[in-house]
């Protein structure tokens, strides 16, 4: 790459190689040094069990079902699923103007732990590993249904992200068609693989390891970077060093490493503003029940909205809604802030 301009001060656009889309970076708008703001937002002391919570063990859910007295994690079909498994698949096309298709799917909820008061960074590595095992089993089971094309594993954390229940949990949506982000990423990855015979993210990970400045975590099995094209302030991308297509291909060692990586990543997040850091995070994996694609490379996105403190969030409005994402602090600067955080959670430090 030619360094004909200065990434740290010149406004510029970056290409997201996974989607082929642009991100506008305006570093000059944020020249002041990071204040290291450590506003102590009183982490509401939550009880270990809440009788009103629909995820706590033994409680009755909206549909009348009772949660078992589970000890690790617990999965069930969402009582308010956005997709249903008995939808008949049909299409409409009215003069190429009004085009639609029904979507069939299964939406599940995973409670990460029986403890109402914990979050991923505060759970033990063993407990996070149990969640990874469950993700793997659920993926395997859902992929056996031949009508399912794509499985999205994700977590929406924090009320700022519209998450209504603080009990640590994630979701899995399995559906009959390929979603937009996956279709875009498939195209970019296929293009690269056909030209080089290597996955796009293998080459990208190697590049980031030599450049160092955007690397936050690296171990034997995973690399975590603030991607070069990041649009959210502290966005991170987790890449498996081995180019696998699905979570089901991870070995025991890789699953343990993923648990360790997720714990460290979320601890670093919490430590930035000494708050339970909100985010939307999820894995991107190859579609299922279709021609296998060696171009697809498993990865996980973390999109957190916080910008300057526990209460100041970035909004994607105005120019972002109409043109393309825009950011002020550079990805390199965000990586530096993340790297400088302790790997011990601030509540226990």
What residues are annotated to the active site? 169
d(CA 175, CA 236): 26
Pattern of binders to Zn ion over 159-178, x per CB under 5 A?
Answer: --------x-----------
**Minimum separation from the CB atom of position 5 to Zn ion (A):** 27
Min dist CB 51 to Zn ion, Å, is: 9
Q: Which is nearer to Zn ion, 55 or 230 (CB)?
A: 55
Residue listed under structure tokens 């997720």? 262
Shortest approach of Zn ion to residue 151 CB, angstroms? 14
Note the helical H segments in 92-238: 125-143, 180-196, 200-211
Q: Does 115 bind Zn ion (CB under 5 A)?
A: no
Decide: is 300 part of the binding site for Zn ion (CB under 5 A): no
Written as six digits, the tokens of 111 are: 């409670």
Q: How far is CA 112 from CA 14, 41, 128, 209, 254, in A?
A: 36, 24, 8, 32, 19
The closest residue (CB) to Zn ion is 53
In whole angstroms, the minimum distance from the beta carbon of 283 to Zn ion comes to 8
The answer to whether 247 contacts Zn ion (rule: CB under 5 A) is no
Size of the site for Zn ion (CB under 5 A): 8
CB-based contacts of 204, cutoff 8 Å, min separation 6: 17, 239
**Is 205 a residue that touches Zn ion (CB under 5 A)?**
no
Report the alpha-carbon distance of residue 258 to residue 130 in Å, rounded: 11
Contact region with Zn ion (CB under 5 A), list: 51-59, 77-85, 208-216, 218-226: 51-59
Task: Return residues touching Zn ion (CB under 5 A).
Answer: 50, 53, 55-56, 116, 167, 185, 284
């Amino acid at each position: 790459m030619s360094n004909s301009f200065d990434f740290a001060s010149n406004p510029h656009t970056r290409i997201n190689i996974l989607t082929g889309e642009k991100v506008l970076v305006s570093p000059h708008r944020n020249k002041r040094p990071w204040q290291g703001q450590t506003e102590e937002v009183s982490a509401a002391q939550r009880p270990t069990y809440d009788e009103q919570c629909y995820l706590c063990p033994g409680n009755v859910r909206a549909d009348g079902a009772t949660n078992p007295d589970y000890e690790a994690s617990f999965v069930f079909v969402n009582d308010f699923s956005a997709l249903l498994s008995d939808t008949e698949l049909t299409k409409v096309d009215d003069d190429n103007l009004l085009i639609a298709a029904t979507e069939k799917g299964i939406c599940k909820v995973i409670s990460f732990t029986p403890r109402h008061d914990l979050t991923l960074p505060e759970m033990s590595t063993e407990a996070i590993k149990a969640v990874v095992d469950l993700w793997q089993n659920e993926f395997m089971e859902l992929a056996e249904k031949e009508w399912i094309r794509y499985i999205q594993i994700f977590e929406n954390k924090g009320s700022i992200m519209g998450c209504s229940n603080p009990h640590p949990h994630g979701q899995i949506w399995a559906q009959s068609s390929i979603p937009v982000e996956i279709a875009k990423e498939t195209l970019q990855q296929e293009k690269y693989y056909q030209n080089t015979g290597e996955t796009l993210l293998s080459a990208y990970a190697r590049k980031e390891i030599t450049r160092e400045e955007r690397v936050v975590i690296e171990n034997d099995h995973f690399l975590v970077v603030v991607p070069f094209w990041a649009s959210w302030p502290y966005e991170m991308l987790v890449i498996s060093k081995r180019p696998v297509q699905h979570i089901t291909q991870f070995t025991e060692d890789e699953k343990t490493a993923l648990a360790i990586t997720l714990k460290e990543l979320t601890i670093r997040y919490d430590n930035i503003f000494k708050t339970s850091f909100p985010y939307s995070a999820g894995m991107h994996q190859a579609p299922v029940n279709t021609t296998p694609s060696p171009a697809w490379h498993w990865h996980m996105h973390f999109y957190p909205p916080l910008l300057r403190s526990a209460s100041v969030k970035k909004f994607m409005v105005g120019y972002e809604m109409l043109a393309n994402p825009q950011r002020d602090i550079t990805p390199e600067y965000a990586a530096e802030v993340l790297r400088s955080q302790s790997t011990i959670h601030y509540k226990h430090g």
